[in-house]
Amino acid sequence: MAYDDSAALKDIQALVKNLLQTLEAWIALQQDGPLALTRYTPDVPAAYNRLKSGFGTSPDVLLRWLQVPACAPDKVLLASIDGLSDTQMVDQDIVAPLLQTHADPASWGETTLTPGHIHAETSWDTIIQALAAGNTLVFAPHFPKVWVVDTVTYRQRAITRPQTEISVRGPEDAFNEVLLTQMNQIRQRILDPSLRFHQIVLGERQHTAVAVAYLDGLTNPALVETGIARLDQVKIGGRANATMIAGLIRDHPRSIFPTIRPTERVDVACWRLLEGKIVILVDGDPFVLIAPAPLADFYRTGMDYSDVWYDSSFVRIIRLAGWLLGVYFPSLYIALTQVNTNLVPAALLEITLGSHAALPFSPFEEAILMVLIIEVLREASLRLPKPMGTTIGIIGAIVVGTAVVQAGFVSPQIIVIITLTALSFYTGPVYDLTGSWRLINMALLFTSAILGVFGIVLLTMALVGSLTQMTSFGVPYVVPYAPLRIKDFKDYLVRAPWVDLRQRLNSSRPLDVTRSRPGTVPEVPHLRKTQKESP
């Protein structure tokens, strides 16, 4: 029987290779110490047992053995999660090429595996996280790393219209819950190579991907670094949403006034990026966060920049009037009818007090009662199904309002005042700020019932002083009032025509303040009427 020298040489080379890999693993084990417990060693059966005894006990975890020509007689292990991984991609882009390859496992990322995102990992913590996220793991024998192949399938709802920031004119697309789709929606609007996304993973048990979007060369680098640094300091155990992240990274976390603006509108997020701000995208939440966000930003909407300047300016004035009416109207009524009655004309005071003569409650008690009724109706209409909630909200308001007047509990004047107040609060475009002003309204009610007009002035001064001291990512909260910036008033109480909005708002300190440059418009030649030539 002839002795095959080539076969013996191959066996010796394979044995030496295995010994060298084992020696390298042992050296790494000695050097890393406790960290070696989380390092993957090139032992595919041991990896299978580890997955099978832990993560693999779940029925949706798929562990599959493959006979790959390049690794014969050993087998290759594939691990994926059914439902999170794209089964068709796994079969076509991973299984089929592996069954035919003769390449070394170290080169599979460049020669065999065809999906777009492929990388190798050595840490078991990272490997398990990648598997839980929907990636497919490829364990090759005698290869000290694990190939992580991106086969994540994104189950998402269709892009719909905004639900909380409705506009008459302008774009009508809102963000959905998938982070990759959110980034694509922004890139579709901003076709600029300077658009950057810095991704961070938050959470110790449930990992949440968060991306900070900004325009390189326009956004102030100090603002970008501040946003990233604050996100890096977030330590949470469960899955985070946009509201939780905003509460953990914003200035003055205990204040009732938000200093980071949430929005579900793509056009608003893109507009703020073009102003030099950062936008924080959160996977699993359709609302993105805009920072910095002074108080004036909560009253700017996407429709303000899609409509003509005079209509947008008029609507902004209406919002200001609605704010004044909602915050001060009930408290002024209580102060003038219960404490400072000498400030009211005699004829008006006689009408007002005459309607309260036979009622068991004072004006303050009537206002508190009606505020509670309005809040109960509002909360009930939100919790009920949409068609039923709308019907009950309208009918309940009419029936309750009529019943309490006829029963003699409250006066007709307080019904009108509280109804106008409730409607005025919702002239504000951002829902988060509505709750803040409702609390201020309640505080003004109690103050006016005790101190009258003096209490309203005193609480207003305290509120102005508190807001003046607040900041949003280092930007003064009440800019352009304090500090006073005259140029920013062109886009504050009114919205000036586009020919006057040549510069960006200076609140976020952008590197380039020029928004547009004046151009030359060619004159239209005089059009003369030409007579029709006779045949």
Residue in this structure with the two tokens 């006979």, named with its chain if needed: 67
**Which of 57-66, 128-137, 394-403 comes out lowest in average pLDDT?**
394-403
pLDDT in tens, 496-522: 888 888 888 888 888 888 877 776 666
Question: Residue 284 has what pLDDT?
Answer: 87
Question: Residue 85 has what pLDDT?
Answer: 87
pLDDT in tens, 460-495: 999 999 999 999 998 999 988 888 888 888 888 888
pTM confidence score: 0.78
Beta bridge partners of residue 174, listed in sequence order: 265
Residue in this structure with the two tokens 């110790």, named with its chain if needed: 204
Distance CA 176, CA 186 (A): 12
Q: Is the pLDDT of residue 33 over 60?
A: no
**Better-scored residue on pLDDT, 220 or 371:** 220
Which residues 6+ apart lie within 8 Å of 43 measured at CB? none
Q: Which of 337, 281, 301, 357 is nearest to 169 (CA)?
A: 301
Question: Residue 523 has what pLDDT?
Answer: 67
Q: Which of 240, 279, 251, 248 is nearest to 263 (CA)?
A: 279
Q: Is the pLDDT of residue 272 over 90?
A: yes
Q: Is the pLDDT of residue 78 over 90?
A: yes
Q: Per-residue confidence at 386, pLDDT binned at 50, 70, 90?
A: low
Distance CA 134, CA 154 (A): 9
pLDDT in tens, 295-323: 989 988 888 888 888 988 999 999 899 89
Q: Per-residue confidence at 373, pLDDT binned at 50, 70, 90?
A: confident
Q: Per-residue confidence at 525, pLDDT binned at 50, 70, 90?
A: low
- Dihedral sign, Cα of residue 230, residue 235, residue 239, residue 240: negative
Question: Residue 524 has what pLDDT?
Answer: 65
Q: Per-residue confidence at 4, pLDDT binned at 50, 70, 90?
A: low
Q: Is the pLDDT of residue 155 over 60?
A: yes
Q: Is the pLDDT of residue 231 over 90?
A: yes
**Better-scored residue on pLDDT, 340 or 21:** 340
pLDDT in tens, 193-225: 899 999 998 887 778 889 999 999 999 999 999
Distance CA 452, CA 455 (A): 5
Question: Residue 27 has what pLDDT?
Answer: 54
Q: Is the pLDDT of residue 26 over 60?
A: no
Question: Residue 34 has what pLDDT?
Answer: 46
Distance CA 59, CA 391 (A): 46
* Mean local confidence (pLDDT), 433-447: 90
Q: Residue 290 in 3-state DSSP?
A: strand
Q: What is the mean pLDDT of the chain?
A: 83
* Mean local confidence (pLDDT), 186-198: 91
Q: Which amino acid is at 405?
A: V
Cite the beta strand spans of 369-495 per DSSP E. Answer: 471-472, 475-476
**Better-scored residue on pLDDT, 78 or 132:** 78
Question: Residue 500 has what pLDDT?
Answer: 85
Question: Residue 473 has what pLDDT?
Answer: 92
* Mean local confidence (pLDDT), 362-370: 84
**Better-scored residue on pLDDT, 54 or 109:** 109
The tokens of 311 are what?
């209509």
Percent of the chain with pLDDT over 70: 83
**Better-scored residue on pLDDT, 104 or 2:** 104
* Mean local confidence (pLDDT), 120-146: 88
Question: Residue 301 has what pLDDT?
Answer: 86
pLDDT in tens, 395-423: 666 666 677 766 667 777 888 888 888 88
Q: How far is CA 219 from CA 168, 267, 272, 294, 471, in A?
A: 30, 18, 10, 16, 18
pLDDT in tens, 445-465: 999 999 989 999 999 999 999
Distance CA 127, CA 77 (A): 14
